[in-house]
Amino acid sequence: MLGSLKCCLGIGLCAGSAVLLSILLNDSGEIRLAAPFLCSLAAIPASVYWGRLSGIIGSLAASFTLAVLLFPPVGSLEVQDFSARAILVLSQLGAMGTAMIAPHHSGAALRSKNRVR
């Protein structure tokens, strides 16, 4: 039960960063292409603190959120611009790769390290 709650926190961090960036960068022109890479940065702490699964699912949720809320046509998963589609795919691959190689630090391991010192 507690593990699934922690996983949901990481997914919420990734999806929340995508929603926030969609709101902030909605009226911007070319700067919106940086949003997928900024969201992929949110997958790093999610996978380190809450597990790899949280980082992978969170990066998927962030990509879907950005595709629906940021890139035209808004409200659809279809992304018309080829460069925006390519950036979404590349940032998704980078976020998933980073989540796979990121070390997972559980709270119990950190507490035992502090106890030994």
Contacts of 3 by beta carbon, 8 Å cutoff, 6+ apart = 51
Torsions phi, psi for 72 (to 5 deg): -70, 145
Alpha-carbon gap, residue 9 to 51, rounded angstroms = 10
Residue 117 in this model has a pLDDT that exceeds 60 = no
pLDDT digits (tens, 9 = 90+) for 4-42: 787 898 899 999 999 999 998 888 777 888 888 888 888
Rounded distance between C-alpha atoms, residue 69 and residue 117, angstroms: 48
Spans of all domains in the chain: 14-111
Each residue of 40-97: pLDDT tens digit? 888 888 888 888 888 899 999 999 999 999 888 888 889 888 988 999 999 989 888 8
pTM of the model: 0.81
CB contact at 8 A, 7 and 50:
yes
